[in-house]
Structures are given as C-alpha cells and as structure tokens.
Structure 1
Amino acid sequence: MEYISPGIEKLTGYPVAAFRDGDVTFGSVIHPDDRDKASRTVDQALHTGEPFQLTYRIVTAAGDIKWVWEQGAALVEEDGTAVAIQGFMADFTRVRKADLKVVEQATLLDKARDAIVVIDTDSRITYWNHGAERMYGWSAGEAEGKLLCELLYEDHDAFRTAYETTLDEGDWRGEQCQRRRDGSLAHTDSRWTLLGRGNGHSPAAARKIMSISTDISERKQHEDKIFRLAFYDPLTDLPNRANLLDHLRRALIGSARTGKFGALMFCDLDHFKTLNDTHGHDAGDMLLQAAARRLEHSVREADMVARIGGDEFVILIAPQDETRDAAAMQAETVAHKIVTAMAAPFKLADFSYAVSASIGMVVISGASDTVESALKQADSAMYQAKASGRNTFRFYDPEMQAALFARAELETGLQRALRNNEFVLYYQPQMDENNHVTGAEALLRWALPNGELRLPADFIHTAEETDLIVDIGIWVLRTACRQLAIWQRQPDTAHLTLSVNVSARQFVEPNLVAMTETILRQTGADPKGLKFELTESLVVTDFASTAQQMRALRKLGISFSLDDFGTGYSSLVCLRNLPIDQLKIDHSFMRGVLTDRNDAAIVRSIIALSGSLGLQVIAEGVETIGQRQFLSDAGCFAYQGYLYEQAISEEHFSRYARDMH
C-alpha cells in the first residue's frame, strides 16, 4: 500500500502504521460475507481500467460493523498496464441505516390494510400504497401523478374542506365518501396529516399531506340498516312514530324560536280492516304502500309523511307560515289534495279497490303546543272527521275532547255489558194484510245497571268502530236463535219468522258461516225461520265476497232481507245476482208518502220492482191507517211500525203474537 490517509484510523479503528507495516491488510478488515464482492470489483477495475463504486461492510478493531462506500479507479501506465488502484472511502453506515429504515417503513406501509396516500401541495398523488390499490382499485402506477380530488371525489367541497383544514391546522379527521374505480362509493374514516412545514402556512410552504383512510362501508351499511329499522316503517318506507316524534319536537322548537306556524294532520283510511278481512293482508299491504306514495305526492318537500301504525298516517306541515290562519289554509290545501288523491281506486293485484280517508288537523305553534298536545288534538280531529261521515277533514275542536272521553267510557261500558249480560232483545211485530203477526225483527237494547234502557243509536256506532260489534253480533244471533227455537216448539208461534240485523263488520268475518251453523245446532232453531237483514252499503261494498257468504248461508236455509232499500245505491245487478228474498221500504219514505209526491213515487217503484223480480216487500215505519192503505193499494201487504206495536220484550211479544194470530 503506497499511501493511506490518517482518516483510515477513524474509519477502521486501526492506525495507519498497521496498514503500512503489513500488520493489517485492508482485505482482512472487510466483512467475510462481502470480501468476494469487493475483490471481484477491484479485479475488474484493474483489468478494464474502468472506475468503480462499491458499498460493503467492514469489521472495526473494536469489533463493530460499519458500512463503507468506496469510489476508485485503476492507475494505468503508458503501455496500458494497470499498476495500482487509487480512490477514497467514506463511512456509509448512517446513510445505509436510513435507507434500510425507509425500505422497512415503505414495506410496512404497503402491508397496511388502510389506504395510505401522500399528495403534494398541488394535490397530486406522490405515494399510493397497496392498501389504496385494494380499496380504490387503481394501481400505484395509475394513481401517482393524478389529482386526488379528481380521482376520488365527486364532492369537491368535501376534499377542499379536508385539504384546507390540514394546511391551516396541521391535521384533519372525519368521514368521507370516495369513489372507487368501478364507480361504487367507499365510505372512509380518514386522517390527514401535514408532513413538514416551511416558514408559513401557505400551500407553497407545506411539503406533503399524508392521508390514512379506513374503509367503513360495511359498518355504514349496518348503521344505515339499524337506522332504517329504528326510524322508518319497513312496509311503506315512510318515517315511523319515533322519527315523527323527533321531527315534531324539532319543529316546535323551531316554531318557538321563529314565531311561525305549522300544522299536524292525522289521516286514517276508512274501512281499511274490511279489505284485510275480505282479501287478506297482502292486499292490505299493497294498499298501504300505494296510499303512502299518494300522500307523499300531496305535500311539499319540506313536509313529512309518517306511518305510525295500521292504516294511520301523520303529516307534519313544517312551520313556515307567519300567521295561524295562513297555516290553516296550507293544511286545508293539503287535505283537499289528499282527499282528491284517495278518490281514484287503487289497483291491487287483479282487482281495484276504492278507499277514502278521514283527516284530522290542528295548527301548531311552539309557543303554545307540546308534542303530546299536538298529537292528541290531531287525533281528536280525525275522529271528528269520521263522525262527520268520513272521506272528509276537520280541524281540532276543543269540545271534541269531552266527546272522546265519553266515547272511551262508552266503549268500556259496552265491554262490561257483554261480560255482565246487560244486553237484551226486543221484538217488533211484522204484520200481514189481515193484521196477523207473521214474524218479528229482533232489536238490541242495553239495560244499564241503573235501570235505563238505551237504544242502539246511542252505542252501536261506537261498537261498529271497534271489534265489539262482532262479539255483540254473535250474542244477538245466539239469543235470537234461542228465542226462535222456543217459538218453533209452540204451535201458535211455530209459523213466526225472526229477522236479525247483521252488521257489515260481522258479515265479512271468515267464520260467519261456521259460527252460524254452530249456533243453529246448539239452539235447535230451524234456519227456515231465520232471516238476515243486510244494508245496501254492505251488499255493494264488496259484491263478490258478499255473494259468496250469502250463498253459503242460503245453503243452511237462511233467507235475506235488504234493509233500508232505496236510501243507498243498490243496482239491479245486485238484486238479480244475490239471493235476496225481501226488500224493506225504509221508514224515511213512509213519513212523506201521503204528502210528498217523490216519496210516494219511490215507494210505488220499490213495490213494483219487487213484484217484477219475484221478491217479497215489507214496509217499516208504518204509523197511520192512511199509510197502510197507500201500501195496500200499491201492492204491499207486509207492515212493521207503531200503527201495530213498537219493539217490545219477549214476554209481551209472545202474548201479542197469540192475540193477533
């Protein structure tokens, strides 16, 4: 070795003299694993005369391992012979360790499941790990150099918020919605960090921004599903009760702050249960879904339509009006739209079905109303709409509250009456042209514990709005059949028939035929003496189902009378195709039959129609000799009314029937 600088001692730990005197060779200092590589590189340089660069490890005098970077070249004589190597060495350990750390860190970043992306101050991607490739679908080669905001973001405002916040504050964290290569959306939980700053906070002074994003799409789907289950009706996809209550509470808070007025509307589909009973719950569900869509199209975008259960919907009219009157007008406009929207029949599977709606409304103000009071008042108004004939709307009337309390008490009383056997049947005689009793109509009475006798007009409407009418109807039928059987066992009353009023709600019961057959068998009554009185509205509402029930009951021997004929909208098709035996002229026509030409003409037409169709005809409400004579002259020879007798107890009726036999 011709020359070696003093720096060799700092690098290897051996003094210069050790190398000069031959005590230590530089080849022996090189790490055994790197000696062959170093020797080959130097030999190649001697043979080719080319310069070289080389990194390798050495073992110092203290036994430490260092990395050395060597650069050199061969010294060549004039004849081209390489005679020596000259060059210099440097301690490369710190640089090498840094490189290894970078490589290790890069490997770890690539192995991370999260998407790690680095962008420069122009938003161009400078690093894109394997996690980003998996999450978004683009390879590193495809993504690097692209603008992050254009590659991943449909909402550039979301990107700008994160970007500017990171530059201003050093970091940002939040949830974002980012676009994948296939067009689908990834929901991410992202953390952005500013990697180094210059002498300021401007984009030019910042070096890099690193974002680490975790894919939370599956979690968001589960959260959305849980949210939908908690706050939306699964059948109609409308907000549910919990959602409505939250929005109503917020609306009232906002109203209290702004002083503006809104409205709350209860919407109930009229006679919805009849559809379920006659066509099944699938048809009912289809109707609810279709009704929900019509309701949504009847309100403004700011308003809410919710389903709170069954066939009950609630509309929240957002508090946007300056006065109570303006809010009432807006609610009325919506109510008109709803009534009109519901007027068109609904197409359900293979049939159409018409339904109407009863709507209750109350103007709401955060200054005076609470969630509870608003709901109660709108519900009260809805019942007022039903009491007004349905298919209409009503505003809340404070007097309705008292009526609702009375209704609740009445319902409780009816339940008690069934338990305690407080109902009784009275019987109004039916007469022929010879003033002989041919039968009776069974009429319900409620004998209260205080001795008061209440007529059906006082309670039957409430019973019809609940399932109580079914239980009451069963009691009436069983009691009537028991009485009919008693009459049939006695010679002087065996010929009598007994008419029983059957409600629309009772008639659509699936087990009506089987229940009637059981009652007939248990009481021993001959069904040939039993007559069911049906209303016109029942016959027309669901013709096919009604006809099927009537035919099945006819097979048992029961006959049918069409009650209140002429007051509804029966068609000749119904009369021709249903097994009806008798038409009953309503008492409303009888009151004016002697003084009103129209009433007289209607009564004559009914009598003539029944004769041409081969049906019996009976008039109710006959109170004078003149009315009876009119009927007789027109060809009606069956009568019922106060001219003969009012509805009387069974004991009085049996005596009357024997006297008039």
Structure 2
Amino acid sequence: MASADRVNLRGRVMFVVLGILLVGATLLFFKIQNDQRQSLRASYAAAMEDAVSSRSAHLQVYVNELRKQTRFLAQTPPVQALVRATGGAIADRDGGDTIAAWKQRLQEIFKAFLTANPGYYQLRYIGVADHGRELVRVERQQEGLVVAADAQLQAKGDRDYFRESLKLSEGSVYISNITLNREHGQVQQPHVQTVRASAPVFAGDGKLFGMVVANLDIGPGLAEIMKPVRPGVQGYLANQDGDFLFHPDPGKAFGFDLGQRYRWQQEMPGLLLHNPEQQLREFSRLGEYPKGIETQSLTIAGEKVHLAAGKIHYDLSQPERYLALIYSLPDALIDEQMATLRNMLSLGFLGILLLLGLIMTVMLRRMFAPLEKLTDGAMAIADGSREVELPEKASGEIGTLVHAFDQMLNGIKQQERKLGSLHDHLRQSEAYANHVIETVPQGIIVIDADGRMIRVNNVAADLFGYSIQEMLGLPVEALMPAELVDIHRDGRVEYQQGEPKQRRRMGEGDNHVARRKDGEEFFVEVELCPLHMNDDHHVIATVSDVTQRKLAERELQIAATVFNAHEAMFITDPAANILRVNDAFLQVTGYSREEVIGKNPRILQSGRHTDEFYQEMWRHLNEYGVWQGEIWDRRKNGEIFPKWATISSVTDERGRLVNYVSMFSDITAVKEAQEEVLRLAYYDPLTGLPNRRRLVEQLQHNLKESARSRHYGGLLFIDLDNFKIINDTLGHDQGDALLKEVAHRLQAVLREVDTVARLGGDEFVIILHELGSDKEQAVEGARHVGEKLVATLAAPYRLQGRNFSCTGSVGATLFQGMDVSVEEIFRNSDIAMYEAKKLGRNGLRFFDPAMQASLEKRSQLESDLRDALEQEQFVLHYQKQVDDKGRTIGAEALIRWKHPVRGMIPPFEFIPVCEESGLIVPVGQWLMKEACQKLNQWQQNERMKDYTLSVNISMKEFMEEGFVRQVHQTIEESGVNPSNLELEITESIGHANPEELIEKLHLLRLADLSLAMDDFGTGYSSLSYLKKLPLDVLKIDQSFVRDLGVDTSDESIVQAIIKVGETLGLEVIAEGVESEEQFELLKQYGCRKFQGYYFARPLPAEEFEQSCVPCPEEADLDVAGV
C-alpha cells in the first residue's frame, strides 16, 4: 500500500509539474501571440495617427495658401482703383481711368492668375451694392478662360459666402465649406470639388465696398490627402456636420449635394472627436491649429474596428469649423496576419513541451528515492513510535525535514506540560475582563460577524432601556432609527470586510443617532475596535450618551452662524450701548470695532429723520419687542445710505430686558435699481424727456386738475419738418444730436409748470398748465407759446461744422375738465399739426372740427387709392410732343384714375395724397412698368419706333434706395430699348442730397436713358449746379408759357431758359402751349420741341396711336377739335 502511495505521489508530482509546464507554456503562447497582436495593432495605429497628423497639416497648408492668394488678389491695384472709380461714378479720381478700363485690367490679372494656377477655375470681384452684383468674373471653361460679359454678371447677395464676408474685418479671409460646384443651380458634371475663399474690399472711408472671391478645385488636394496609408486601412473625410467628403464607397461622398446625406455619426456611432473649447480658444489666440488625435476601438455592423480620427481646423477665427479625417482598421485584417504566426508558434511550443516532459520524468525518479524512506519514518511517528530510521544521506530540504522531525517530538512533550498551566491562566483573565467591562462608565457592546450582539454590559443595557438578556442575539441595527438601518448595515459590512489598518482607523470617535427600546432617539458617541477570535471578526463598540453636549454645541453653532451672516449686526445693553458688532457691520459703516464698542447707535444717524420718527420706533419696539423698517444712516466717511433694519429686544427667563439686537442690510443698490426702472419706464433715454407713458399720466392728472379748477389747459403737438432728410444724409448720430438740441430748446422756452415730452422719432408734445378760465385768454396764451416754439425751432442748428435748418410744424388744442378723453386730445392736436404741414410747414395751427372732416375724407381717399392699385383702376393717357414742323416725335405718359363710382379723377386730387401716404412709390413703379410695355409695343411699329416716351418721377420715388435697380429691372423685363425712354425729374429733388442725385443720374445715363429737368425755372437751381447734372432736356414750365405775348417778364424768362439750354447743349421743350401765337413766339425764340393742348390733349393709348397718322403732310397741323 505504501509502495503504491509512493508511486501515486510520484505520478501526482509528475502530473502537477507537467501541468504547470503546460499551463505556463500555454500562457506564454497566448502572451507572445497577444504581444504580437498588440504590436501589429500599434504599428497600424501609429501609421494611421501619423497619417492624420501629416495630412491634416498638408490640408491646412493647402487652405492657408488659398487664403494668402485670395488676400493678394484683393489687394491688387485694379481692385482698389475700382473702389475709387465707382465712388466717382465714371472715372478713377486719382488716375482718371474709367471703370471699364480698370475692369479690363482686373480681368487681365484674373486671367494671368488662373493661367499660372490651374487649380483655380473661377475668380470674381463682387460689389456690396445692388444685392451683391458681380463687377468682374473670369472663369475656366472647356474652351479656355472666359470673361463674363456685363449682361452675364449676377447678383450673389443670397450666397452664404457673400453674407459671411459682410461680417469680416479688413485683412480677413472667409473660407467656405467644401461642396460640389453648381452651374445654374445644378451640380456640375463631372463633379468638381470646390472650396471658395472671399476677401473683403473696403473703401477709403472704411465702409465695405465688395469682395474678391476665388473658386478652387480642391479635388486633387483631397485625393492627395486620402491616398492609402496601408493595404486594408480605409480612409474617410467629413465636414463639421459629419457629411462625408471622401468615402471608400464613392457613392456616399458629397451625398448632401446629391440629395442623400451620409454621415459618420450614422456609420460610426460612438466615435468621439475631441477638442475642448478652452484648447480651441488658446490655439486661436496663439495663431496655431490644434493637433488633437483620437484613437478608439468600436464595433460597427457587428465588426470590431480600430479608428484614428482628428479634426483639421482651417479657420482660426471660427474654431467650430473643421474637417474630420478618420482612418479605420478592421480587426479581421489583424486576425488574418496573426493566423500564420499562430501556427508556427503552436508547432514550436509542442516540441519544447515533449522535451521538458522527458527530462522531468528522469529527475523526479531520482529525487523521490530518499523522500520515500522519510515517509516511512513519518508514519512510524504517527503510530507513537519515537525511534525512527531516517535517511543517512539526506541533504538540502530533506535533511532539514529530518531535523524538524526531531524538534517536533521534543515540542510535543513540552506543549503537553504547558497546556495545563495556560488553562488556569485563561480562567483568571476572563474573570478580570468581565470585571473591567462592568466597571467602565461607557456602554460596551460586542458584535459578531453577522451583526448580532453577543456581549453587553449593564451600562449599555441601561442606556438603551433593555435588559442584558433582551439585547443578546439582537442585531445591532435594532438600536438605530429605522431610516438609518440600511445605511448602518452597509457600513458595518464594509467595515468588517476591510483591511486591519482600515478597521483600526475607523474605530475612532464619531457621533451617531441611536434609538432606545421605547423609541426615543438620542445622540451617542461610538468608538469601534476590531476583535479577532478564532478567525472570527468581531467588533467592540464603546457607546456614550452625548445628547446634552450635542444640543449645547448646536445652540452655539446657530448663534455663531447668525452673528456672522452677511447682514450687518450689533448687540447693545439695555441702555443701548453697543457691546458687539460683526464684520458685516464694519464693512457697511466703515467704522472699526474700537470706534463703536461702548457708543450709542445714534453715531450713525444721518439727520434725515425727525425726533418723532425715532420716538415712534422706540415706542413700537418696547411695546411689541420688535421693529422693522427703512432708515437712512451715515457711514464714517459721511456718505448717507439707506438700510432695511430689524431691531429685537432680548429678555431672560424672568422677562427682564437683557439686550437689543439689530440686523440691517444696505439697500443702496435696491434703491438705485428702483430709480433706474422708474427712469426707463417713464423717460426717453436719448433726450431725458418724459416718454409717452409718463405724458399720458401727466395729461390725465392735468385733466383732473382742470376739472376741479375749471381752468383751461393746452396740448401742442410738434413734428419736425425735415428731420428725416438730415438724419439720412448726416447719419443717425447727428440726428440724435439734433433731437437733443430740440429738447433743450423746448425746455428753455417753457414754464416750470408745463410739461414737454418726446413721443418717439421726431415728435414732441407739450402740455400747457393753467391757461386761465377765459377761453380767449387761453387761446392767446397757447398761441403765444406756440409761436415762440416755432421761432425757436427755426433757428439754425450747428452740425458737423455747418448750419442746418430744421423747422417744426405745431398743432394746438385746448381742453377743460374731463369733457374730452386723452385719446381725443392727442388726435385733435395731431390733426392740427398735419394741417400746419399742409399749409407750408414751419407754423402753428389750432384744431378746428372741419379739419376732422377733411382728415376723414383724405383717409377715405387713401383707402380708395390702395384699392385702385390692387384692382388696376389706374390708366395712362399720352400727350403728344411735336417738333417745330408739328410732327409727332414722342409723348408724355400721364396717369389717370378711373374711379368705379366717382368716374375719372384728375391727378391734382390724388397725387398729393399718394405723396403723403407713400403710395407714390408703388404707383410710380406701376406707371414705369406700363410705360415701358407700351413703348416696347411702339418700337415694334415701323411708324412709331422712333417716338420718345417721357415718364415723370416723384421726389420720394427717386430717393428710394433701390430706385436705379428697379428701373433697370423694369427695362429688362419689358425688353424695351431704353434710348427712347425719358425720365423727368423736378428741380426740388436735388436739394436734399445733391451728391446722391448726381450719382443716381449718372447710373441712369449708363443705362442709355434720357434725362429731363421738368418745370425748369420754378425752383432755385444755379447754373453751376445744373452743369453737374447729366441732363439731356430742359422743359419750360407752362406757367411761363401761359402769358407769352402778355407778360414781358415771362417772355424774358423763356428766352433765358432757351439760352441756358443752348449753352449747356440741352434740348428744350415748352410745356402748356395752347395757342398758335404761343407756338410762333416760341419758335422765334429758338425752341424746337413743344407740348400742349394746342397740339393734342392727353389721350388713351388707342386714341393716341390712331392720331399718329403717318403721312408727309403731317407738318400741316390740324388743331381742330383740340
């Protein structure tokens, strides 16, 4: 049996050794295989990270070169020269070259640049004006470089790059997103991957004039960046929205331009691209691009892949814009390469294992011979024998084992002798320990590993209200409040399972809430100490009742917290002498503790409150024990401030006064905020005058006062006559300065009891108080004030070093008592003001009920005009223009209104209403459209193709910002030849802004239009001013023609006008010719073109065309029936 056991032992050892070798070899095999896999993966990852880093830098250099080239193009001389030339309307003021010449030079530069840089395929110079219309465009087409003709230049105001470029500062360049190029709204075939760069161009006055835009085919650059890193590694490129610009599947690239979006967030969910905002701002400040690269492993579509991704930032001013470069390595690719290596390692390790097994078999057979003899000796010792034969040649560990057997026999004998002595000693120790536990003043509880109490002293039993027998076996959580049971149990388990050091540290004192048997909760201090007995982990808990101490500490803490709060506090004795102050008191008052301790709080008094105020405060405090309210005090530096104070009296247990406690807060900021809210709610921020809300409240108050006193009051409504012109021409800052000066002048004229307010814009209202009980006296008083206001406002205003005139129209109305409402008073004064404007402005007008009826009639007419515009009730009549032979050479288009009820309404009734209401602009646009369509029809008629058609342009229509563009658009839509179209303007148009008038006239002349000055001689134009205007025709006003042959002064004026026209090389047309005598006199004076009832009245289009009979005898004028 022993022999069999020894053989079995040898086999087990052999099995264990071989098993260890097999496990070790297997672990080594897998470690080597894993290391190789990690190395291979790291190699791929490094290659992908290097590719992300290097190719990101390559693209940034690519984009920076684009930015540099675009900025260079924007700074070329023709670009700036075009800014100056366009500002001069025709030619560069410095070099004298025309706009066309500079455009040609810029076109040559663009062509040379495109020739030298084949990657660029389009360059443009775009102006801000006219909805971003192109000024120059050169592009690469199949047939070569092509310069766009003027008619092909387009407006680009709706493009993203145009709008973004408007925000740029000088020297900046906007880089667009990468998209597929579009031609006429369709994606170009084959696809051209495009990025646009735009550099702003500023005029000399710092205003944005336009921008240079370069289109670059970035496809070759992207192809270079996306070259394969290694076989099997897939590359992706996406924009900041995640849309793919490059994809292994070409059909998914630029899907957002082709109607189907493909994004990396969909294909690679979980991929993170990291660049913290702080890092982006830091790199933006340093002028560098961040180079953060993220590597991640994800499972995509059931396949594990390894990703390397980075953001390519190419615009430091907008760090949120970037391209995402991503490389993907499938885990399956690594598995394929590892398969061969795994087979080679398997064969090698199998051979090594076989060799080691053979060697270990031989070694173990030799090692176990002495050990088997030692085993026989051990079995004898187990049977009680003390005479054992041990191996003679035992060395090493076996020799040590033989010596240990001898030591063991001697030790057994000694242990048997000591056991009796130790048993007696343990009984004495247990008795002593029980005595100590029962005599200590704290409760002692021993808790086993299951959390049950296995030993409790009497102090603990009394503390918790149990008997010792009741506590034994109970879980220690029975001594805890219900809401703490789970928390305590988890903490106990964690404590018992911790390391020994941790248990000793956790045994330090701590405060807890405990529960007695009757449910009462109280504070305890617990100290824990680990106790190890027979591999059992017990805990000794020492418990003390600290309820009274805890309550005292809480009271002290509350008192300290309150006294050191943010509110200022001080405590006085019953005689109101300061005993203690907190830091907040010192900060608010500016005093030190030494300066206020022992002093009476009256040292803070500001003097704003009366003695009666303080007497009432003390009476309330002594009666109710507390007082609260607002007090104004004085700081140490003398500054008076408001505070909100609460004063309380403190008494002892017998009700005797012990202290006064005062708490207060500085409410200066609250008061200032209230005042600011009041100012914003009731006062105009520009002028400081009361606003509409405050004005209405004041007027309501005045009405009540008037009702009580039966005295009249007055309201003056003021509207500045030409404020809009000054505001538009000089700028809003000068307009604001003018409004402030007007407010100052109004306040200077009025009495203190009167009120002046600004309603908004250029409207002011004045309330006159106490004008007396006599109505005539009140009218005279209001008239006196109103005339003073008119005179004061008419004085010149000094703006930008020059004098400007800005008069006011004033409407006045009276009120007495509550007979009229606030709204009615406002309406009456507003009606009177408009009547003052109608009578020539710069005057005063009192309200009359007839004005209301007139206003209602005008309102109805304005409403009918709007309906007429919508329902096409307007028609055009045409009045002939003839030469000195009486032959028809053209006509003037005159508008008529065919009202469905009132019939034909003459222009003098509705044109003024159109002017005042602003309807003149849409009406004028309709007239222009109709006239162009009619002229286009005439140009298709052989006998009428050379006729000129004149169209009147109102001042308001001409001053519209988009007037020139509107005229060009109408001409283009109608297809008319503009050389036969003549626009008539009046002299008054140019008085507001001569520079703008001249600029617009030049732009109209560039469109081949004829320009005429209508009603010449009725205004105040000087010859020097007239020379600057690019006119073709002067029209003599009919007021001078009417009295020819009767009034010699009119004859002199007419001759002078004809002479002026000859001198300036202008044609002259006489209007209002109604007799043969006038016709003959005008021919004698040298006039060659005429218009008037002598030749024909204004006719509808069909009748006019029938009257233009083509015959050689047309010169024989027949005026019968005219």
Q: What is the TM-score with the length of structure 1 in the denominator?
A: 0.74
Check whether the contact 1:463–1:469 (CA below 8 A) recurs between aligned residues: yes
- Distance (whole Å) between structure 1 residues aligned to residue 934 and residue 636 of structure 2: 82
Pick aligned residue for 2:999 from 542, 548, 560: 548
Q: 1:291 offset after TM fit, Å?
A: 3.3
Of 169-178 and 324-333, deviating more is 169-178
Contact 2:881 2:1090 in 1 (8 A): yes
Q: Superposition pairs for residues 229-308 of structure 1, below 5 Å?
A: 229-275=680-726, 281=732, 284-308=735-759
Hey, what does 1:490 align to over in structure 2?
A: 941
Give deviations 1:214-262, integer Å, cap 9, x for gaps. 3222223333333333323334433222221111111111111122222
Compared CA separation, residues 591 and 478, structure 1 to 2 (3 A): same
Q: 1:524 to 1:348 in 2, by over 3 A?
A: farther
Greater radius of gyration (CA): 2
Quote how far apart the aligned CAs of 1:519 are.
Answer: 0.4
1:507 aligns with 2:962: no
Alignment partner of 1:636: what SS?
A: coil
Q: 1:137 to 1:518 in 2, by over 3 A?
A: same
1:406 paired to 2:857: yes
2:586 counterpart (102, 113, 133): 133
Name the aligned partner's letter for residue 1039 of structure 2: S
Q: Distance in 2 between matches of 1:551 and 1:161?
A: 82
Distance (Å, rounded) in 2 between the aligned partners of 1:280 and 1:655 = 53
- Residues 270-316 of structure 1, C-alpha deviations (whole Å, 9 max, x = no match): 24444555566555445444433333334333222222233322222
Which stretch has the larger CA shift, 471-480 or 173-182? 173-182
Using the TM superposition, give the Cα deviation of residue 440 of structure 1 relative to its aligned residue in structure 2, in angstroms: 1.6
Contact 2:713 2:814 in 1 (8 A): yes
Instruction: Tell me the CA shift for residue 402 of structure 1.
Output: 0.8
- Per-residue CA deviation, residues 176-217 of structure 1 (Å, 9 max, x unaligned), is 665555676634335689999xxxxxxxxxxx9997643222
2:837 pairs with one of 357, 372, 386 = 386
Would the alpha carbon gap of residues 161 and 194 (structure 1) be closer, same or farther in structure 2, given more than 3 Å must change? farther
Kindly provide the CA deviation profile for residues 509-557 of structure 1, in whole angstroms up to 9, marking residues without a partner as x: 1111111111000011122112221122112121111111111111111
Post-superposition CA distance 1:52-104 (Å, at most 9, x none): xxxxxxxxxxxxxxxxxxxxxxxxxxxxxxxxxxxxxxxxxxxxxxxxxxx99
Q: How does 1:64-213 map to 2 (within 5 A)?
A: 111=564, 113-115=566-568, 130-142=583-595, 153=606, 156-158=607-609, 162-163=613-614, 166=617, 175=630, 180=635, 186-190=641-645, 213=664
> Retained in 1: the 8 A contact 2:721–2:806?
yes
1:106-132 CA-partner distances (Å, limit 9, x unpaired): 988964544567999xx9999876444
Q: Does 1:655 align with 2:1110?
A: no
Structure 1 position 464 matched with structure 2 position 919: no
Relative to 1, partners in 2 of residues 1:421 and 1:574: Cα closer, same or farther, differing over 3 Å?
A: same
Structure 2 vs 1, CA of residues 175 and 243 (structure 1 numbering), >3 Å: closer, same or farther?
A: farther
Question: CA contact under 8 A between 1:110 and 1:131: conserved in structure 2?
Answer: no
Distance of aligned partners of 1:252 and 1:309 in 2 relative to their CA distance in 1, 3 Å threshold: same
2:762 equivalent in structure 1: 311
> Is residue 2:902 matched to residue 1:447?
no
2:1046 matches 1:595: yes
Match of 1:479 among 930, 946, 961: 930
Change (3 A) 1:582 1:226: same
Matched pairs, number: 549
The answer to whether residue 827 in structure 2 is matched with residue 376 in structure 1 is yes
- Give the distance between the partners of 1:574 and 1:150, measured in 2 at CA: 78
2:1059 aligned with 1:608, yes or no?
A: yes
Sort the Cα spacing of 1:438 and 1:194 in 2 relative to 1 into closer, same or farther, 3 A: farther
Q: Determine the C-alpha separation between the residues in 1 that align with 2:636 and 2:1072.
A: 82
1:159 positional shift: 5.3
Q: Structure 1: how far apart are the matches of 2:880 and 2:809?
A: 39
Per-residue CA distance 1:420-478 (angstroms, 9 max, x = gap): 11111111212221111222221111111236111221111111112211111111111
Report the 3-state secondary structure (helix = DSSP H, G, I; strand = E; otherwise coil) of the residue aligned with 1:465: helix
In the alignment, is the contact (CA less than 8 A) between 2:915 and 2:956 conserved in 1? yes
Cα distance in structure 2, aligned partners of 1:182 and 1:468: 66
My pick for the range that moved more, 135-144 or 223-232, is: 135-144
Q: Is the 8 A contact 1:172 1:192 kept in 2?
A: yes
* Matched-pair identity in %: 38
Q: Quote the Cα distance in structure 2 between the aligned partners of 1:516 and 1:475.
A: 11
Q: In 2, Cα distance between the equivalents of 1:476 and 1:434?
A: 30
Task: Identify the match of residue 220 of structure 1 among 659, 662, 671.
Answer: 671
Q: Alpha-carbon deviation of 1:577?
A: 1.3
- Following superposition, the deviation at residue 413 of structure 1 comes to 1.0
Q: CA 1:257–1:340 in structure 2 vs 1: closer, same or farther (change >3 Å)?
A: same
Q: What is the identity, as a one-letter code, of the residue corresponding to 1:402?
A: A
Amino acid at match of 1:318: H
**Counterparts in 2 of 1:250 and 1:174: CA distance versus 1, 3 Å:** farther
Q: Are positions 1:636 and 2:1090 aligned together?
A: no
Work out whether residues 110 and 130 of structure 1, in 8 Å CA contact, stay in contact via their aligned partners in 2: no
- Structure 2 match to 1:332: 783
Using a 3 Å threshold, how does the CA distance of structure 1 residues 354 and 193 change in structure 2: closer, same or farther? farther
Question: Mean alpha-carbon deviation: is it higher for 139-148 or for 375-384?
Answer: 139-148
Distance 1:601 1:632 in 2: 14
SS in 1 for 2:1108: helix
- Please tell me the residue identity of whatever aligns with 1:610: G
Tell me whether 357-366 or 171-180 shows the greater mean CA deviation.
Answer: 171-180
SS at match of 2:819: coil
The amino acid that maps onto 1:135 is: V
Instruction: Tell me the C-alpha RMSD between the 2 structures.
Output: 3.7
Please give the alpha-carbon distance, in whole angstroms, between the structure 2 residues aligned to 1:267 and 1:249: 20
- Contact 2:1036–2:1057, Cα closer than 8 Å, also in 1: yes
- Cα distance in 1 for residues equivalent to 2:564 and 2:757: 49
Aligned twin of 1:341: 792
1:574 equivalent among 1008, 1018, 1025: 1025
TM-aligned CA deviation for residue 396 of structure 1: 0.4
Tell me if structure 2 keeps the 8 A contact 1:109–1:116.
Answer: no
CA distance in 1, matches of 2:1023, 2:599: 79
- Compared CA separation, residues 571 and 182, structure 1 to 2 (3 A): farther
Letter in structure 1 aligned against 2:644: D
Is 1:621 aligned to 2:1091, yes or no?
no
| CA gap 1:363/1:451 in 2 versus in 1, 3 angstroms | closer
CA 1:140/1:287 → structure 2, altered by over 3 Å: closer, same or farther? same
8 Å contact 2:771–2:781 — kept in the other structure? no
Contact in 2 for aligned 1:265/1:359 (Cα 8 Å): yes
Alignment check: 8 A CA contact 1:259 1:367 kept: no
- CA 1:329 to 1:639, structure 2 compared with 1: closer, same or farther past 3 Å? same
- Secondary structure of 2:828 counterpart: helix
Equivalent position to 1:583, from 1005, 1022, 1034: 1034
Give the secondary structure class of the aligned counterpart of 1:446: strand
* Code of the aligned partner of 2:643: T
Q: Is the 8 A contact 1:277 1:509 kept in 2?
A: no
For 2:1064 and 2:632, locate their aligned partners in 1 and report how far apart those are by CA, in whole Å. Answer: 74
Mean Cα displacement is larger for which, 377-386 or 640-649? Answer: 640-649
Contact 1:149/1:159 (<8 A) preserved: no
The runs of 5 or more residues in structure 2 that have no matched partner are: 1-555, 652-658, 1116-1122
1:211/1:521 CA distance change after superposition, 3 Å = same
Contact kept, 8 Å, 1:162 with 1:192, in 2: the verdict is no
Distance 1:648 1:144 in 2: 104
Establish whether residue 437 from structure 1 lines up as the match of residue 888 from structure 2.
yes
* In 1, Cα distance between equivalents of 2:998 and 2:639: 56
**1:558-597: per-residue Cα shift (whole Å, max 9, x none)?**
2222222222222223202121222222222223333223
